[in-house]
Structures are given as C-alpha cells and as structure tokens.
Amino acid sequence: MQERLEPIFLNILRIVSGFLFFQHGAAKLWGWFDGSVVEFPELRFFAGVIEFFGGLLIMVGFGTRATAFLASGLMAFAYFIVHAPQDFWPYVNGGTTATLYCFIFLYLVVRGGGGFSIDGLLSGRKAGEVT
C-alpha cells in the first residue's frame, strides 16, 4: 500500500508547498494577502520574485528540481541572514517556516516533481512513477 500512496503524497506535498510559497512572494511583490510591497532594490524584492514564480513552478511541477534547489537555497540564506542571528532556536527566532521550506524543497530536489506534474508529463512517465 505504501508503494501506491507515496507518489500521491509526493505530488500533494509539492502542490501544497508551492501554493503556500507563492503567497509569500505575492505579499512582497504586490501586497496581496495583507502583505506590504517591497521595492525593487531591496534584497527582499528578489526573494519575493523567487518565492512567487518559484512557488508557481513548484506547484505545477515545471523545472521542479532546479526551482526547488533555488528555493531551498533562498530559505537557507533567509534563515541564516535574518533568523539565526536573533536566537539559536528556530521557534524563538521565527525561522521555523524558512527551515521547513528549506528541507521540503531539498527533498523535492532529490525526488523530483512526481508523476502528476508538467515534468512528469513531459518525460512521458506514468502518474505512479517517481521522476
């Protein structure tokens, strides 16, 4: 049973993670979801671009491995630049979300987008196969 469910949940993890991640970028770039717009030269603007477009690409599973690698690196960078200097513990320094995104995206780098993704469709694999 695990062999049948694992590919389904890989796709669910990818879709939900991408869906949540793109919202962070939308909040930074356009102020959606009660966010505040970050202007162009700020470093957070570039993070917003990666979050928005990377989240959409991960959600649909297009260029999943490369996009997830970039997003994982962004979240590691965000953690060590913004959160870690505040305190050692992620719960205290507000870095739990960045840490989770970092490792979820790192997992997607290794596993790929799954069969129910544009990557999976382009490679001609069946929905149950791991890409």
pLDDT in tens, 11-45: 999 999 999 999 999 999 999 999 999 999 999 99
Specify whether the CB–CB gap between 112 and 123 falls below 8 A: no
In a domain, 102, yes or no: yes
Given a cut of 70, is residue 125 above it in pLDDT? no
Q: What is the pTM assigned to this prediction?
A: 0.89
Token pair of 117 as six digits: 């993704």
Overall average pLDDT of the 78-87 stretch: 97
Residue type at position 98: A
Structural domain total, the chain: 1
- The three-class DSSP label of residue 1 is coil
- Report d(CA 36, CA 106) in Å as an integer: 28
Is there a domain that residue 93 lies in?
yes
Establish if 66 belongs to a structural domain: yes
Where in the sequence is the domain holding 52, given as residue range(s)?
2-122
Does 106 fall in a domain? yes
Residue 129: per-residue pLDDT: 52
CA distance 59 to 18: 4
48 within a domain of the structure (yes/no): yes
The pLDDT, as a whole number, for residue 111 is: 96
In a domain, 52, yes or no: yes
Instruction: Please report whether residue 129 resides in a domain.
Output: no
96 phi and psi, to 5 degrees? -65, -40
114 lies in some domain: yes
